[in-house]
């Protein structure tokens, strides 16, 4: 009986296991590329791309393969995923761990740390950590393995710091620039997609404008207080952070990673309030107190910050692959601040960020709204002029003084015109004489009535008697115009589209213009003065003088014309014309005729004011464009007040 060779059991070395695992991983990786093409949604938590199916990962009982055995330690050096950085890390500890030398995915970075690199042959790069704090950059994504794997996504930049508030009457400072997004990691040289670039951080809000200083009080009787200081302007919003570039794709199969989105610009700061006006001091007995100082104007709203560009820097270039950073959209511009001071203009919207080589430009920010105008303060009433002096016997009466024109008082109110003085009385023992003319009424200050014309002087004579004409009524004062409404802020320009492909961003809409303040009504014209009375009587018996056979004529004075009404302020009504003066009364007791005076003509009515001016709507921002001619839409202009 022949002896057969006894079969011996062959034992495989660790290299055989590794070879089998590597080959199997390549096959599984190829299937993965087909099953999960570029652009497909990724799981929220990335799992290791590959695991070694022929190597136990759980602890094995036995002295040679225990948890700290030499074989397991050797395997962990070549195969395994890198550790994720802790959330409470600082410095270099925030970088994700690298995968095994041969196989494994990189760990995630934290707090702006970089993602770990994948294994030399196979593995995904770890995601870069999102930045924390203010104005810090996101971490770069880790690169993938040489043969197969996707690059890690870049981390997002953090928001810019808020601007600081201004001192007394000072402007707020500009908000900080948002942090730059991290670059996406490069994909595997043969197979794999580049990582997505991280988003830029939002720009910081502008600082609040400082409150203006209060005006000093008056120090002398009747003095005027000092005007308050204007408040500071709000600080401009900070620019949005630039986005990270996408990682390069594989040489044979793969897609270059998309660039991140630029950060939005920060909002404009709040304007500061104007300081209070100082108090006036009362004058001497009977005098008016001094006017308080005007309050300071509030500052303007801050301008919105510009959107960030999606290309902070070029991504890494593969050995022969395309340059990264081709894709990415520009960030939107920040909105302009609204005006808060009466009649103030809105802030300008921030410009949209430019796109990468392929991408859509960011939209421009909207302009801020203007503030409504104020209506003027209604004025008060003035005084009346003195009457004219009486004429001496045998002399005509003197004319009455004209009424005083209304003036603007120190407290900002206006006066009506004063009434004209009455004409002097004419008397005559013998012969002819006349009464004095009535004084004209004074012109009213803005928005106030004109003064009434003075009455003509009466006359009594023994021959011809002529009464004085009444004075003309004063012209009514014109109305005060309301304050013009504030203009809307211009919209921001749209960002440029990609140089290869991509539409430009739309321009921002202009802000709304505000309504103008209502004007005041004009003053009414003053009434004309009444004509003077004329009386011609018999000559009494005088020794040595013969009585005449006739008597003198008596002619009454004419009534004064009414004053014209004033023109209304913008948005106000015109004043009414003054009434004509009444005719004087004539009386002749002798043989001659008495002639009554003629009544005065009424004054012309004033013109009504036109409507107050509304603020202009802000201009729409220009649309962005790209090299082949793609153009974004221009923003719509804002509506006027």
Does residue 231 register a pLDDT over 80? no
pTM of the model: 0.49
Residue 190: pLDDT over 60: yes
Bridge-based pairing of strands 594-595 and 586-588 is: unpaired
pLDDT tens digits along 380-411: 444 443 444 444 444 565 666 666 676 666 55
Closest CA to 200 of 177, 179, 175, 176: 179
Closest C-alpha among 90, 141, 149, 161 to residue 120 = 149
Token pair for residue 364? 């421009």
**pLDDT at residue 125, rounded to an integer:** 96
Whether the pLDDT of residue 107 is over 90: the answer is yes
β-sheet bridge partners, residue 277: none
Q: Which carries the bigger pLDDT value, residue 136 or residue 265?
A: 136
pLDDT score recorded for residue 197? 83
Q: Which of 121, 116, 186 is nearest to 148 (CA)?
A: 121
- Paired tokens of 57: 């990962």
Question: HSE on the CB side for 29, CA within 13 Å?
Answer: 31
H helix runs in 9-69, sequence order: 14-35
In the prediction, which pLDDT does 50 show? 38
Tokens of 311: 């290309």
Q: Which of 167-171, 315-319, 476-480 is predicted most confidently?
A: 167-171
Report which DSSP code applies to 434: E
CA separation for the pair 513, 169 (Å, rounded): 26
pLDDT computed for residue 254 by the predictor: 67
pLDDT band at 84 (very low <50, low <70, confident <90, very high): very high
Q: What average pLDDT does the structure give for the chain? A: 64
Is residue 202's pLDDT more than 70?
A: yes
Q: Which of 348, 458, 366, 447 is nearest to 407 (CA)?
A: 447
Boundaries of every domain in the chain? 91-162+175-208+234-265+302-328
Question: What average pLDDT does the segment 309-326 reach?
Answer: 30
Q: Give 249's Cβ-side CA count (13 Å radius).
A: 16
CB-based contact 570:641 (threshold 8 Å): no
Residue 286 predicted with pLDDT over 60: no
pLDDT tens, residue by residue, 338-386: 665 566 666 666 666 666 566 666 677 677 677 776 666 555 444 443 4
Which pLDDT belongs to residue 236? 77
């Amino acid at each position: 009986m022949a002896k057969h060779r006894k079969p011996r059991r062959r034992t495989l070395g660790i290299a055989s296991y590794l070879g089998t695992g590597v080959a199997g991983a390549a096959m599984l990786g190829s299937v993965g590329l087909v099953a999960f093409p570029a652009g497909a949604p990724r799981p929220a938590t990335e799992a290791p791309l590959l695991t070694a199916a022929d190597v136990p990962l759980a602890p094995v009982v036995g002295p040679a393969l225990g948890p700290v055995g030499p074989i397991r330690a050797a395997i962990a050096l070549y195969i395994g995923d890198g550790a994720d950085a802790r959330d409470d890390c600082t410095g270099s500890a925030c970088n994700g761990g690298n995968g095994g030398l041969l196989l494994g995915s990189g760990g995630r970075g934290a707090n702006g740390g970089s993602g770990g690199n994948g294994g030399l042959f196979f593995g995904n790069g770890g995601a870069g950590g999102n930045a924390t704090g203010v104005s810090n950059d996101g971490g770069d994504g880790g690169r993938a393995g040489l043969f197969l794997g996707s690059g890690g996504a870049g981390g997002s930049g953090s928001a810019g710091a808020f601007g600081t508030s201004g001192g007394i009457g000072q402007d707020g400072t500009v908000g900080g620039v948002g942090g730059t997004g991290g670059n996406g990691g490069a994909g595997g040289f043969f197979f794999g997609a580049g990582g997505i670039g991280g988003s830029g951080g939002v720009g910081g809000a502008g600082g609040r404008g400082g409150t203006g200083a209060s005006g000093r009080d008056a120090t002398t009787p009747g003095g005027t207080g000092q005007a308050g200081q204007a408040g500071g302007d709000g600080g401009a919003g900070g620019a949005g952070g630039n986005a990270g570039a996408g990682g390069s794709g594989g040489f044979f199969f793969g897609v270059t990673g998309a660039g991140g989105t630029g950060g939005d610009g920060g909002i404009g700061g709040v304007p500061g309030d104007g300081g209070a006006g100082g108090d006036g001091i009362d004058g001497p007995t009977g005098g008016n107190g001094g006017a308080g100082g005007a309050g300071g104007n509030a500052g303007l709203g801050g301008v919105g910050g510009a959107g960030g560009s999606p290309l902070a820097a070029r991504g890494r270039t593969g050995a022969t692959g395309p340059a990264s950073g081709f894709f990415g959209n520009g960030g939107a511009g920040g909105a302009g601040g609204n005006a808060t001071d009466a009649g103030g203009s809105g802030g300008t919207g921030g410009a949209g960020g430019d796109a990468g080589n392929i991408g859509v430009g960011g939209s421009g920010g909207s302009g801020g709204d203007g503030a409504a105008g104020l209506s003027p303060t209604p004025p008060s009433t003035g005084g009346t002029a003195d009457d004219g002096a009486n004429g001496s016997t045998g002399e005509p009466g003197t004319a009455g003084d004209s009424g005083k024109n209304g003036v603007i008082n120190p407290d900002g109110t206006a006066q009506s015109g004063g009434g004209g003085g009455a004409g002097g009385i004419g008397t005559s023992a013998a012969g002819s004489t006349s009464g004095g003319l009535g004084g004209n009424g004074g012109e009213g200050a803005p928005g106030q009535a004109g003064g009434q014309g003075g009455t003509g002087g009466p006359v009594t004579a023994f021959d011809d008697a002529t009464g004085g004409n009444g004075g003309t009524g004063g012209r009514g004062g014109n109305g005060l115009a309301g304050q013009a409404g504030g203009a809307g802020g211009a919209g921001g320009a749209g960002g440029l589209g990609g140089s290869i492909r991509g539409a430009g961003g739309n321009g921002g809409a202009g802000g709304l213009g505000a309504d103008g303040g209502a004007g005041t009504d004009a003053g009414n014209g003053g009434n004309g003065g009444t004509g003077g009375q004329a009386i011609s009587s018999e000559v009494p018996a005088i020794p040595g003088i013969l009585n005449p056979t006739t008597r003198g004529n008596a002619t009454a004075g004419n009534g004064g014309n009414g004053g014209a009404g004033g023109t209304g302020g913008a948005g106000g009504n015109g004043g009414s014309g003054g009434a004509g003066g009444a005719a004087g009364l004539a009386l002749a007791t002798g043989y001659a005729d008495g002639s009554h005076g003629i009544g005065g003509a009424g004054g012309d009515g004033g013109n009504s004011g036109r409507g107050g001016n509304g603020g202009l709507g802000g201009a729409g921002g220009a649309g962005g464009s790209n090299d082949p001619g793609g153009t974004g839409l221009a923003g719509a202009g804002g509506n006027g007040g």
